[in-house]
Structure 1
Amino acid sequence: MSIERGELSEIEQDALAEIANLGVSRAAASLRQMVGEQVMLSVPAVRIVGREVAAKLVEGDNAPQLVAVKQSFEGPFAGKALLIFPQAQSLELVRSIVGQEHSLEDVIDLEQEALAETGNVILNACLATIANLLRRTMRMSLPSVIRGDGRTLFEVDAPDADGNLVLFLYIDFTIKNRDIRGFIALLMDLPSITALKEIVAEFIEGVEQQTA
């Protein structure tokens, strides 16, 4: 299946980046309440890629072990949302949430629960804001935490891998002078990507009419 059929035009990319930025801003406000520190999140780029490319993007040059919070979502378009960090950075994020007074052993013990809650907050805030701006409703499952390399996270070797694309958001997190880089990825099949593009086109048309 050709990835080109799922490519975004420049105006669609700009619109999605702006919508995602608003979602991320809401997520940052929620995360700030959890960590008690200033949190800044930004979305420098939005791309649609195949699973194999997405796996390489999250691994970077070093192919580190990764940790991700995954939630399924349903609505006018459906798929799986993943919040992904390198393993080392995930521990740093958890330490920010649970507090510096905890030992490394405590942080490791609390990591699973804290990551699931963090992912739930960020992914729900992002997707709910995106859905509201597009005037749609989304339903999300409970979060689960998964670990592995990029191929594991994106199920590259799954039987239906060729029929699924990844809407990829690069996100930079900064918490109290800690630089934590994460990714949000929405794994969708081509019909869902097509439905999303049609809804974004409606959104763009509405904005253009308001500004005309």
Structure 2
Amino acid sequence: MVYQLTDAHLDALQELINIGVGRAAGMLNQMLESRIVLEIPVVSILTLSQIQTELEKRFDGDSLAAVKLNFTGSFSGKANLVFPTDSAATLVSLLTGEEVGSPDLDSVKIGTLSEVGNIVINGIMGSISNVLNQHLNYAIPIYMEDCIKHVLSLEYASEETIFLLAQARFAIKTLEIIGDIVLIFEMDSFGTLIRVIDQQLEFQPS
């Protein structure tokens, strides 16, 4: 990787994502009767060859349900919230009260997951934009179900593509649902993000 990442960079990225996730959890809790606890225990930076291996290991090669959103501005890329399809169905069931496997669940799944994805992704990207004082524009979120390669458009990525992986845990009632937030940057855009973080770190008291 061209950009040498320090522990301070990773800590800053984790903090930005945690701020966004906290805002998103607050919005989700306002929508629901059940309290959602949304945690990001791990943030890592991966290459093209690493991301597919990591997600296949984490999700056991399952088909994924994903909400995808493109962003442009000071830096550009793609933000994705991905779930194994069984976790997605469980989450929708908890949010809507529909039984897993019922025809009604399928009919509300896309709308429900799109709304959840939009809230989580916009919370994170809004945190990055606001804390770093950078302007970002967002496309309309898209929902899809497919394999990891197609969900993340890995066939169009290169070894210079940078993947920021934030493993997410949605705890609702007694259930824990796993999902991942994947931010995809080309090398130049990721470099811009790191330079902006460096500028912020310079002005922080030691």
TM-score under structure 1 length normalisation: 0.90
Q: Answer with 80-89 or 41-50: which moved more.
A: 41-50
Q: Does residue 1:148 correspond to 2:146, yes or no?
A: yes
Deviates more, 1:78-87 or 1:105-114: 105-114
What percentage of aligned pairs have identical amino acids? 28
How far off its partner does 1:34 sit? 2.4
Give the number of equivalent residue pairs: 205
- Aligned counterparts of 2:32 and 2:134: Cα–Cα separation in 1: 30
Q: Is the Cα–Cα contact under 8 Å of residues 89 and 100 in structure 2 kept in the other structure?
A: no
Structure 1 segment 163-178 matched on structure 2, within 5 A: 163-178=160-175
How do 1:14-93 residues align onto structure 2 when only pairs under 5 Å count? 14-60=11-57, 62-93=60-91
Report whether the alignment pairs 1:109 with 2:84.
Answer: no
Structure 1 residue 179, shift from structure 2 partner: 0.5
Q: Which residue of structure 2 lines up, in the alignment, with residue 189 of structure 1? A: 186
Partner AA of 1:116 in structure 2 = S
Q: Deviations over 1:5-58 (max 9, x none)?
A: 245211100111112111110011111122321111112122111133212222
Of 113-122 and 6-15, deviating more is 6-15
Contact 2:90 2:100 in 1 (8 A): no
Question: Structure 1 residue 154: deviation in Å?
Answer: 2.1
Q: Post-superposition shift, 1:176?
A: 1.5
Q: Aligned equivalents of 1:172 and 1:56: distance in 2?
A: 20
Conserved? CA contact 1:155–1:161, under 8 Å: no
Residue 83 of structure 1: how far off its partner (Å): 0.2
- Of 26-35 and 179-188, deviating more is 26-35
Deviations 1:137-196 (A, max 9, x none): 2111111112222212222222x4333111111111111121011111111100011000
User: Given residue 32 of structure 2, which amino acid in structure 1 is its aligned partner?
Assistant: V
Report the more deviating stretch, 103-112 or 66-75. 103-112
The corresponding residue for 1:126 is 124
Gapped regions of structure 1 (runs ≥ 5)? none
Letter of the 1:189 partner, please give it: E
| Paired letter, 1:13 | L
Q: Distance in 2 between matches of 1:13 and 1:104?
A: 42
Q: TM-score by structure 2 length?
A: 0.92
